[in-house]
Amino acid sequence: MFRTHKSGEIDEGFVGQKITLAGWVNSARDHGGVIFIDIRDRFGITQVKADPDTVSNEVLQVAHSLKDEFVIQVIGLVSKRPDGTYNPNITTGKIELIPDEIKILSKSDVLPFQVSEQSNVGEEIRMKYRYLDLRRENMKDNIITRHNMTKKIFDYLVDNDFLYIETPSLIKNTPEGAREYIVPSRNNPGEAYVLPQSPQQLKQMLMLSGFDRYFQIARCFRDEDLRGDRQPEFTQIDIELSFAEQNDIIDIISNLFGELTKELFDNKLINDEIPIISWEDVMNRYGIDKPELRTKEMQIIDISDIASKSDLKVFGDVVNKGGVIKSMVVDSIFTRSQIDKYTSLLQEKGAKGLAYIIWDEEGPKSPILKFFSDDLQKELFEKLGLSKGKTAFFQATDWLLANEYLGYLRTILIRDLELTKGKENELNFAWIVDFPMFEIDEETGKFASMHHPFTKPKEEFVPFLKEIGQKLKLGNKLTEEEKKQVLNVKADAYDLTLNGYEIAGGSVRIYDQELQETIFYILGMNETEIEERFGHMTQAFKYGVPPHAGIAIGFDRVVMIYQNMPNIREVIPFPKTQKGEDLLLNSPSQIDDKLLKELGLQVKRKNK
């Protein structure tokens, strides 16, 4: 037996007992010939005191040889620390171990960085030596918290009659979103599986199978451009219910996060009742469908009625063409260089520019003010609540772009002005509902699903969509007016947002075979393509489909937010870099020629 106890569980009640500990040397300090060793395991740290007056020369000799991160075993007597030497920062702070024996189990080379300190270390070094990084206290806490959250979610769902069911990781290629990772099949040359972006179709099949309530802690894969809140492989809590509607999902998930927060995070402040906001409303007010609500500042205001009466031609032209003039007031004064910076950032997003009014000590200033009469300026300032010490920004374009540009600017300003400083432990959730069913794919110019093709439209749009579907099935084209009407269709879809992130998304699913085929036709598929890509779904839909709905929680992102981490790599044990590389295992790597031959593949080599 390497140990009789764990470090974190030793307290004054053990004084006088002989115990055995095993772990890493967190530190070894020589205080005038007395060696103090902190031995660390997953559960805590215990101080070992090797005093020449109380231990053998052999033990003292071993103690002198110890270096950080040596793995040791210590057998000794638990003793109470002398008064005035307690360490209140650790659970074992009132005791120490007087060693009878210290055995070195393994030695450590010189460390690439200190494990016992929370000093800043370059991320590439941390990723290369991830096993050392995970020994550090904050990383250990992240992973243990992740485990505790997993268990709580698992228990909550099981207690609410959900069954944990696993779905396969090798599935059929049915493109419906991000690019997929391909897995060539050796037994079927020229053919391949893909890794699932989500278990979407399979969990719907489980509803057809009668399992009623399903969940899975699912590994998912997306070959997409990476950011701080994205990874090529990630974990989602996947949930599906039969005989359920939107409100059922909202109630279950809202209660889940309420209980999770209450039981595991007593330092967090959560909004008692999560607001439900329509997509159109949230875009009008915040310009983004995952708003940061820990601050309610900088809401977007439509000033088209006032701005169109000005002599500024661009404002009038935009409104006459059906566009809008939107404004956002910031409780701050900006320099010209700062405004130039924000203008450049918006132009990178596609905006033509950034109009502004600054109200400093001398009064309101702006190149656009000369186009507003005194009365119109007064009307504008009253509507915006613009006064001394504030700045107003403007966008003139179509409704969606005007909101998105100002929403993007709002996100940047919240960061730059540190408007959430001191609110790190606030959890401000919001449900966003009534999303558009379709959007236009920028590359193809065709309709694309805002969520995915299995999302049910709001009931009032179903008759119209079925008419459109029949028209397309017969090979007819849609008129421009019909295309506009399709883009106005609302989906029975919902997202849960938290502190400026989308943490969960789902929808009521289509269970009408005719409606499902209609959606496929609107998305530009013909009968052959539908059969080839989704024949398994259309076949299954012939045998009695229950109404069902579901949601998927981005678990890595949730842990990141609860732990106040800057990106999800901090809460994943072995993540990839933003280039999708694993620096620990040095992957991706070239494939052996013999394996390529077995798979019937040829690869064009590219020098790194």
- Helices then strands, each counted (H, E), the chain: 18, 24
**Which CATH architecture best describes the domain 295-419?**
2-Layer Sandwich (3.30)
Which residues neighbour 348 within 8 Å (Cβ) at sequence distance 6 or greater? none
Summarize the confidence of residues 506-533 as an average pLDDT: 90
Q: 526-575, pLDDT tens digit by residue?
A: 888 888 888 888 888 889 999 999 999 999 999 999 999 999 999 999 99
Helix (H) or strand (E) holding 188: none
Decide if 433 contacts 276 (C-beta within 8 A): yes
Cα–Cα distance measured from residue 529 to residue 512, given in angstroms and rounded to the nearest whole number:
19
User: Is pLDDT above 70 for 607?
Assistant: no
Cα–Cα distance measured from residue 522 to residue 469, given in angstroms and rounded to the nearest whole number:
6
Note the CATH number of domain 7-106.
2.40.50.140
**Burial call 495-527: b when 16+ CB within 10 Å, e when fewer:** bbbbbbebbbbbbbbbbeeebbbbbbbbbebee
Helix (H) or strand (E) holding 353: none
Which residues face 502 on adjacent strands?
497
Helix (H) or strand (E) holding 362: none
Q: 75-99, pLDDT tens digit by residue?
A: 999 999 998 889 988 889 999 999 9
Calculated CA dihedral for residues 541, 547, 551, 552, nearest 10 degrees: -30
Nearest one of 127, 270, 190 to 581, comparing CA atoms: 127
Residues annotated in the binding site for L-aspartate, as ranges? 176, 222, 451, 509
The domain limits of the chain are 7-106, 295-419
Other beta carbons within 10 Å of 151: 11
Nearest one of 226, 172, 225, 224 to 199, comparing CA atoms: 172
pTM over 0.85: yes
Residues annotated in the binding site, as ranges? 176, 222-224, 231, 451, 502, 509, 554-557
Residue by residue, what is the 3-state secondary structure of 149-177? HHHHHHHHHHHCCCEECCCCCCECCCCCC
Summarize the confidence of residues 288-307 as an average pLDDT: 95
Nearest one of 301, 315, 306, 328 to 375, comparing CA atoms: 306
Which residues face 379 on adjacent strands?
none
pLDDT of residue 606: 67
Average pLDDT score, the chain: 93
Q: 476-486, pLDDT tens digit by residue?
A: 889 999 999 99
Residues annotated in the binding site for ATP, as ranges? 222-224, 231, 502, 554-557
Cα–Cα distance measured from residue 327 to residue 581, given in angstroms and rounded to the nearest whole number:
42
DSSP E strands, 346-428: 355-360, 363-365, 390-397, 426-427
Q: 435-483, pLDDT tens digit by residue?
A: 999 998 888 888 999 988 999 999 999 999 999 988 888 888 899 999 9
Q: 169-214, pLDDT tens digit by residue?
A: 999 887 656 788 999 988 888 889 999 998 999 999 999 999 999 9
pLDDT of residue 322: 94
Other beta carbons within 10 Å of 88: 7
